[in-house]
Structure 1
Amino acid sequence: MKRIDLPPVWLAFCALGVWLSRGILTAGTAVTVGIGTALIVLGLVMMAIAVLTMARRHTTVIPHREPSALVSHGIFAWSRNPIYLADAIVLVGLCLRWQAPLGLLLVPVFIWWIARHFIVAEEARLRAAFGTAFAHYVQRTRRWL
């Protein structure tokens, strides 16, 4: 069976870790649950906007594929990786929603793994495909926020 190596799989794996950590140390109120829900919705909306923006430019959202366009406008003007940022926001939201503060330890691990395992290679492909245009984009837009 072929291993599915996609960011949503890693997000689901971390979300499972958050869910499993729920009973170890609990903290939260109706306010934190509400904030968590809002963060989950925000992350999902960000993902949808980023995917639609990429679809309009006819380029792939699949990390291991070659890009056909450099998307640097809209949500991509304030983050080079809005989908990964949205994933991290959803993960924080799940920690708050499920009242699992220990799960917050998975957020920097997730960010590190995504950056190391996906972003570095994606940026190399973008640099090779778009050269100077990508270099200018990197200068004006941060990787995360």
Structure 2
Amino acid sequence: MKKLLPPILFALIVCVMAVICWGTGSPHNVARNYNLFAIPLVLTGLFLAMTGSRLFRQKGTNIMTFDEPDVLVIEGVFRWSRNPMYLGFVIALFGIAIVMGAAYSSLLLAALFLLITDRWYIRFEEQVMRRKFGADYDAYCSQVRRWI
């Protein structure tokens, strides 16, 4: 599982959503044209993920999930969420699920991404951050929530 990085899992889930929704004729719960109201969700989520990523590059820290971080980033979007990139992916996935018609399978896949992210990626990263940054990271965790 260490080789399955979050952006790859994100893309994989989007592809599976498309195959299930359109390939199997999964029933849609949002009428055509109304699903387009979810496009701002998709764009907001992707913007949030890219903003966090850009801040990592500006700070010169590692962005790879399973490698050790170089810097504790606590400014910008990280003032409101300890995981804005993951939050952005989740928001975008729920938006994509709605754009695709909000089939239950698509919504469940978005929820599955959230669960995997929370229980696998974030849990791993938090252990590494705690080891590397100690009390500074604990103080940050006491001030900023994991998601929002």
**TM value normalised by structure 1:** 0.91
Would the aligned equivalents of 2:97 and 2:110 in 1 still touch at CA under 8 Å? Answer: no
Gaps of 5+ in 1: none
Would the aligned equivalents of 1:72 and 1:137 in 2 still touch at CA under 8 Å? Answer: yes
Cα shift at 1:101: 2.4
2:11 corresponds in structure 1 to 12
Render the CA deviation track for 1:38-72: whole Å, top value 9, x for unaligned.
Answer: 11111111112111111111101110111010011
The structure 2 residue matched to 1:60, chosen from 49, 59, 62, is 62
**TM value normalised by structure 2:** 0.89
Distance 2:44 2:78 in 1: 16
The structure 1 residue matched to 2:121, chosen from 115, 118, 122, is 118
Percent of paired sites with the same residue: 29
Is residue 86 from structure 1 mapped to residue 88 from structure 2 by the alignment? yes
**Residues 27-106 of structure 1: pairs in structure 2 closer than 5 A:** 27-29=29-31, 30-35=33-38, 37-102=39-104, 103-106=106-109
The structure 2 residue matched to 1:25, chosen from 20, 27, 34, is 27
Distance 2:16 2:107 in 1: 10
Aligned-residue CA RMSD in angstroms?
1.4
Would the aligned equivalents of 1:43 and 1:87 in 2 still touch at CA under 8 Å? Answer: yes
Cα shift at 1:105: 1.1
Gaps of 5+ in 2: none
Q: Which runs of 4+ in 1 moved over 6 A?
A: none
Cα shift at 1:90: 1.0
For 1:132, give the aligned amino acid.
Answer: A
State the number of aligned residues.
Answer: 142
Render the CA deviation track for 1:85-127: whole Å, top value 9, x for unaligned.
Answer: 1111111111111113211011221111112221111111111
The structure 1 residue matched to 2:145, chosen from 114, 125, 142, is 142
